[in-house]
């Protein structure tokens, strides 16, 4: 089935990636792009990102940058993008700091003090909503909010949040991503910091969370971009792709960040993207159909994927390169494998089939 601007089986999750007869940059009016692991990693542009985004923009696609990273202000993010060769303005950037600030402002009176455990991006977002950031639980806050503060965040800030939460103050978090990609690898994200406070306070309360994949972030994005046919582009199944699923919009997963092919093949229904590509060049391409055959196999391009046995089987891949040879386009193989793996998992035949051999063959 060719999917054009809509989720196949949105309510229950898809069983194969979608296809698009037109390049994605033409099929959708706005790309809602995650940043870390999609556009840049550790401050440097991801390979092919600058050129692909430039071509998409020149063709008329609106680019918006949607990030769960609350550390920096939209101005700082836009400046960084521009330095990398991706021209952007502050209005093009939507952060989880903005989403959580709106969430807090809906709950407390204007002018209220809020204890901030995070960076300048969070402080600026709170001020934008008429709230007053403070640094101590002794400064009379009516709420406490956590956002990613960078690798140099002092341990004492988590203690300050713990004191406030233990006293019964409402607790908010910009996001709960456990990890964040960087130039040297994967590091702890704001979700790890939230867990520190949760443990210190006995795990008796939960924060209100604004960031992807939850509705407040989607609401903030729609309000600020005015997108009519958006495409979410991300590298994380549990934030970017699940957020698109929750918002009822299509998504493109790229393999330049934290998700690998093995994780994609094991994805639960709400974590299954509409489209799959190696990197942001996928925005410029039409997406091939994944065809379900009568024998239970799935075909994409020259590749056919199936499951060897109904229960406890393994994925089997047949393609033009022959056994043991490297394929010319592994993404078509991955798309076909998604169809076989997701359908087998949804059929309840012993969970996701083993993908180890076929992924080793593809070098993934």
Contacts of 147 (CB under 8 A, 6+ apart): 70, 71, 96, 97, 100, 116, 117, 118, 119, 121, 122, 173, 174, 175, 190
> Residues 267, 270, 271, 276: is their CA dihedral positive or negative?
positive
pTM for the whole structure: 0.87
The predicted-structure confidence for 248-290, as pLDDT tens digits, reads as follows 999 999 999 999 999 999 999 999 999 999 999 999 999 999 9
**Stretch among 111-120, 133-142, 235-244, 344-353 having the lowest mean pLDDT:** 344-353
Overall average pLDDT of the 68-76 stretch: 95
Q: What is the DSSP string of 228-242?
A: SSEEEEES-IIIIIH
Is the pLDDT at 9 greater than 60? The verdict is no
Average pLDDT, the chain: 91
Contacts by 43-50 with C-beta closer than 8 Å and gap 24+?
43/80, 43/183, 44/84, 44/183, 45/84, 45/85, 45/86, 46/256, 46/279, 46/280, 47/256, 47/279, 48/279, 48/280, 48/281, 49/86, 49/256, 49/279, 49/280, 50/84, 50/85, 50/86
Band the pLDDT of 12: cuts 50, 70, 90.
Answer: low
List pLDDT tens digits, range 185-198.
Answer: 889 999 999 999 99
pLDDT reported for residue 10 = 47
Query: Considering only 101-115, 170-184, 309-323, 329-343, which range has the smallest mean pLDDT?
Result: 309-323
Higher pLDDT, 199 or 3: 199
pLDDT band at 350 (very low <50, low <70, confident <90, very high): low
Q: What is the structure's pLDDT at 139?
A: 98
**pLDDT given for residue 39 in this prediction:** 97
Please give the full DSSP string across 96-122, using - where no structure is assigned.
HHHHHHHHHHHHS-TT-EEEEES-HHH
pLDDT exceeds 90 at position 119 = yes
**Active-site residue set:** 34, 36
């Amino acid at each position: 089935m060719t999917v054009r601007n809509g989720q196949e089986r949105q309510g229950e999750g898809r069983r194969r990636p979608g296809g698009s007869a037109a390049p994605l940059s033409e099929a959708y009016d706005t790309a809602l792009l995650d940043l870390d692991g999609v556009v840049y990693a550790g401050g440097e542009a991801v390979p092919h990102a600058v050129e692909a985004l430039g071509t998409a923009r020149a063709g008329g696609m609106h680019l918006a940058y949607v990030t769960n990273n609350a550390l920096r202000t939209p101005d700082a993010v836009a400046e960084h993008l521009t330095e990398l060769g991706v021209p952007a303005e502050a209005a093009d950037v939507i952060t989880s700091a903005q989403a959580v600030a709106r969430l807090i402002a809906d709950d407390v009176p204007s002018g209220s003090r809020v204890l901030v455990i995070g960076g300048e991006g969070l402080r600026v977002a709170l001020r934008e909503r008429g709230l007053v950031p403070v640094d101590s639980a002794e400064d009379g806050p009516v709420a406490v909010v956590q956002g990613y503060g960078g690798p140099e965040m002092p341990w004492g800030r988590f203690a300050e949040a713990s004191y406030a939460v233990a006293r019964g103050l409402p607790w908010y978090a910009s996001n709960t991503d456990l990890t964040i990609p960087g130039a040297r690898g994967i590091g702890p994200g704001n979700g790890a910091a939230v867990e520190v406070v949760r443990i210190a306070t006995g795990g008796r309360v939960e924060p209100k969370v604004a960031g992807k994949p939850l509705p407040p972030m989607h609401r903030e994005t729609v309000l600020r971009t005015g997108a009519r046919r958006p495409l979410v582009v991300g590298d994380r199944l549990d934030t970017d792709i699940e957020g698109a699923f929750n918002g009822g919009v299509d998504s493109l997963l790229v393999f330049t960040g934290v998700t690998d092919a093995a994780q994609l093949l094991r994805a639960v229904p709400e974590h299954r993207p509409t489209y799959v590509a190696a990197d942001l060049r996928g925005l410029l391409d039409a997406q091939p159909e994944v065809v379900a055959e009568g024998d239970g196999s799935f075909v994409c391009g020259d590749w056919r994927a199936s499951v060897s046995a109904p229960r406890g089987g393994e994925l089997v891949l047949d393609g033009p390169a022959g056994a043991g040879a490297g394929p010319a386009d592994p993404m078509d193989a991955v798309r076909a494998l998604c169809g076989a793996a997701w359908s087998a998992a949804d059929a309840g035949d012993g969970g996701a089939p083993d993908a180890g051999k076929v992924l080793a063959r593809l070098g993934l």
